[in-house]
Amino acid sequence: MSETVLGILASGRGSNMQAIVQNIHSGQLHAKIGVVISDHATAKVLENASAAGIPTICIERQNFATKQEFEAAIAAKLIFYKVDLVVLAGFMRILGGHFIRSFAGRIMNIHPSLLPSFPGLHAHEQAIAYGAKVSGCTIHFVDEGVDTGPIIMQEAVKVLPDDTADTLANRIIKVEHALYSEAIGLYCAGQLTALGRNVKISKE
């Protein structure tokens, strides 16, 4: 069976991208990263992906008249690199309906809270400000809402009494790094089926 090709979209440091690379190298995750695309020329993720020998592309919103044209440029590259699964890893833009429909059921996102709690920006700050005792991370398929798509996997992380957004983020990101590869692996093995909101994980 041919390997599933991942297209990673990321805006920043790309520690999730790095974890995926490492899990592929160690043989834990059977997939291939076809391309890493960032909307920021100086994003660390581009440097790290390049160093790992992965094709990288920078596509900046400012170079396009409309959001649709910007997203069409991203889609064209994903198609060029024969991407099967689009992996959002800290991609700080909300993708439009046309893009999402073009890759229906083939876009995953990771969010640093237990959705539907604390969607959108500043999830760690939100959890602390709310006084939550537990937060965590969620991997979900992307639909046209913000962090609303069908949930694939979640893992809880305790919020400690003295936590700041940073200390909480540092504990959650460790869980993210393991869980994202696990979810991607299930997708690659054909073990995920979305029935409406309910994602079924079948056994090997």
Name the residue nearer to ligand GRF (CB basis): 10 or 192: 10
List 4, 15, 23, 126, residue binding ligand GRF (CB under 6 A): 15
What's the number of CA atoms in the CB half-sphere (13 Å) around residue 121?
A: 3
Report d(CA 33, CA 176) in Å as an integer: 18
Question: Does 7 engage in binding with ligand GRF (CB under 6 A)?
Answer: no
Residue 71 host element (H or E): helix 67-80
SS3 state of residue 153: strand
First-to-last C-alpha distance (Å) of the chain: 15
CA dihedral 183, 189, 194, 198 (to 10 degrees): -50
- Binding mask of the shown chain, residues 94 to 133, with x at each position contacting ligand GRF by CB under 6 A: ----------------xxx---------------------
Our CB check for ligand GRF shows the closer of 79 and 94 to be: 94
Instruction: Name which of 78 and 115 has its Cβ closer to ligand GRF.
Output: 115
What residue ranges bind ligand GRF (CB under 6 A)? 10, 12-16, 89-90, 110-112, 173, 176
